[in-house]
Amino acid sequence: MKLGEAMFAALGVAGLAVCALLPLFGSGYAMSMAINLLIFTVLATAWALFSGPTGYVSLATVAFFGIGVYVAAVLGEAWPWPLVLCAAALAALGVALLVGLATLRLRGVYFVIFTFGLAELIRQVVTWYEANHSGSVGRYLFVDIEQRHIVWQLTALAALVYLTGWLVKRSRVGLALRMIGDDEMVARHCGVHTTFAKLLVFSISAMFMALAGAIVAPRWTYIDPTIAFNPVVSFQVLIMALLGGAARLHGPVLGVIPLVLLFEFLSAHFPNYFSVLLGCTFLVIVYLAPRGIVGLMDRLQGGKA
């Protein structure tokens, strides 16, 4: 098992190194694929950071992602870029703390619905505000950031997510989260401050999502609430993390790579059947690989031993 983890770590470092060097020799298309892969790697890993161990299925991914996009759209042209990124992370932190305090005692389906409702609520409020108070629903963002800068920033962010995930997993908080996932009542009786642990990791995960949003915002130039808060993103992240396996740090990326490629292929060749095929893929995953690719790999290894 130790060997496997070392192997995955080495593969991860190699993958990130390729991404970092890509702008020097890759084409525009390769870079755009790399951006897609990196965004979803960050989002799915950040999602699994919280939802993996606790079993709280969150559909609020796009809420935090969209907050990041919007902070970049509003402040991007006025503030220096590093400050914009900090602002995006802080905005997400604020929302995550507020929401987390109120909702993390909801479990199961209530939490799922709540997080989905939250994303929709934020989208509606932003749309309404933009339409009534800032004159137009869309915004333009012109900053001096090229594709290769986005790739580099995202690579750094992905490395940071993995580092954080590794640290969290080794820490007392990580253990606390796994206990909560097994049995929250027992965890509380053992003296785990469950609210604190959940809130901490939920906020960390939200900040990464917002940072990813802020970083890719310049790619679009034109931004409106339907782009920034597209609920499909939450679902895609969920599918990817589940396909890969949310229980391990290296799990989500194993789902991200095949699915990003599959989505790319489907939308290029079967745009009309995209939805049907997406649904079928999802059903196959739920029925055949309930514990994700990681689960399948474990089973194979177990069979050999």
To the nearest 5 percent, what fractions of the chain are helix, strand and coil? 80, 0, 15
Q: Counting contacts by CB under 8 A, is residue 116 touching another protein?
A: yes
| Residue at token pair 């089973």 | 299
List the structure tokens of 174: 């990580």
Per-residue x/- track, 2-31, another protein (CB under 8 A): ------------------------------
Identified binder of another protein from the candidate list 30, 105, 167, 186, rule CB under 8 A: 105
* Interaction between residue 242 and another protein (CB under 8 A): yes
Q: Is 141 one of the binding residues for another protein (CB under 8 A)?
A: no
Residue nearer to another protein on the CB measure, 166 or 282: 282
Phi, psi (rounded to 5 degrees) for 274 = -50, -50
Site membership for another protein, residue 138 (CB under 8 A): no
For another protein, the binding residue among 94, 273, 299, 301 (CB under 8 A) is 273
Would you tell me how many other CB atoms lie within 10 Å of the CB of residue 116? 19
- Spatial separation of the C-alpha atoms in residues 146 and 218, rounded to whole Å: 8
Question: Around 127, how many Cα atoms within 13 Å sit in the side-chain half-sphere?
Answer: 12
Q: Closest approach of Cβ 156 to another protein, in Å?
A: 33
Task: Compute how many other C-beta atoms are within 10 angstroms of the C-beta atom of residue 180.
Answer: 23
Total count of residues recorded for the chain: 305
Q: Which three-class secondary structure state does DSSP give residue 139?
A: strand
The only residue of 149, 166, 235, 297 in contact with another protein, by rule CB under 8 A: 235
Q: How far is the CB of 201 from another protein (least distance, A)?
A: 19
- 128 is an interface residue for another protein by CB under 8 A: yes
Q: Residue 38: CA atoms inside 13 Å, Cβ hemisphere, count?
A: 32
Q: Which is nearer to another protein, 216 or 238 (CB)?
A: 238
| DSSP assignment letter at 24 | H
The stretch near another protein (CB under 8 A) out of 16-24, 111-119, 156-164, 171-179 is 111-119
User: Which residues would be at the binding site for another protein (CB under 8 A)?
Assistant: 55, 57, 102-103, 105-110, 112-114, 116-118, 120-121, 124-125, 127-128, 131-132, 231, 235, 242, 272-283, 285-287, 290
